[in-house]
Amino acid sequence: MAAGSEPMAAVRPYGHLPDGRAVFEYTLDNGRGLMLRAINLGGIVTELHCPDRDGRSANVVLGFDNLADYVERNPNFGTLVGRFGNRIQGGRFILDGEPYQLALNDGASDGANALHGGPGGFGKRWWAITPLPPAADGSVALELTLTSDDGDEHYPGRLDVTVHYTLTPADEWRIDYRATTSRATVVNLTRHGYYNLAGGGSALGHQLTLNASLVLPVDAGLIPTEATEVEGTAFDFRQPTRIAERIRSGDPQLMAARGYDHCFIIDRAGRKDLVHAARLADPASGRVMEIATTEPGIQFYSGNFLDGRLRGAHGQAYRQGDGVCLETQHFPDSPNRPEFPSTVLRPGATFQSTTVHRFSTA
């Protein structure tokens, strides 16, 4: 839909899962050029279109053009992530004195850690999606819901999750997460979107700014160690910096992770509301994406494991740096790190989190 048209929501068939369940693709358009498409599988955002400085629209997220690829070979393109985004070391934690061993899917022999909720995480689940009535301000939204049973991937408690995708007249994509549980559990919900504001090619020429004075270095298993200052390192993005300037700097941390795959601690100054976390800009197209969040951290991942074996919607081979992830979340391995902000959710409490992506041009 062209900019200047009416905000709208639409739906069309997208295919069937191997078990026969129907998958639909839902479209949101804010009438100003910002358009989002999402499917039931994984709550995946298959497309996100926004205009450049000359008004030309392009899809700025990596993905496929068919359901089979999302089912069989998706490296978390566009997925919702849960129950626990990022890694839990050894897939083990103790909660209220009781030990839990989660399903493993990451690390040595594909089994050292639990990553993004395990092999059957939320990004592989069928989400119920309902278009919501347009808001008074012209915002359009989708409501996504999922129930994760007690013992799912060996996590305790039945978890009921609701996520809203909202496009606003201010060219914002707002994501609101909400979850409740029947038993004490751990929760870290996020999204795993790969962004390329150029609409194709490499994203390593993008300028990245992170509102973070501290970063969590990682060990050989990509589990965080102690927080360190970013000043004077390849991790200092407090001023706009081309990603390509530093990704091959030879920093031992970048060598160990094959690039950036680190959680940055957002400078919140004690605030618990929405705080500016990141700015990503493509100088060539002029597209800019700014991120604000209620979360304490943001994981910057430079698509290190894209090796050319996956082909995207237009046949392009995806390689390292063709998309970058900026995942707002609590810190990795938090259930085993009492010094980190808690990810424990108890019955009667509600997990709530909001992240806003604002699109503009420079």
Catalytic residue (one of 49, 116, 153, 192): 192
Catalytic residue (one of 47, 153, 295, 327): 327
> 328-341 burial, b for 16+ CB within 10 Å, e for fewer?
bbbbbbbbebeebe
Is 290 among the residues known to form the active site? no
Sign of CA dihedral 163, 116, 290, 45: negative
Is 192 among the residues known to form the active site? yes
Element (H, E) at 69: helix 67-73
Cβ-contact 225, 216 below 8 angstroms: yes
Please state, in angstroms and rounded to a whole number, the distance separating the CA atoms of residues 99 and 252. 34
Cβ-contact 63, 312 below 8 angstroms: yes
Please state, in angstroms and rounded to a whole number, the distance separating the CA atoms of residues 252 and 245. 16
Please state, in angstroms and rounded to a whole number, the distance separating the CA atoms of residues 123 and 191. 9
Element (H, E) at 213: strand 212-216
CA 286 to chain centre: 23
Q: Which residues are catalytic?
A: 192, 327
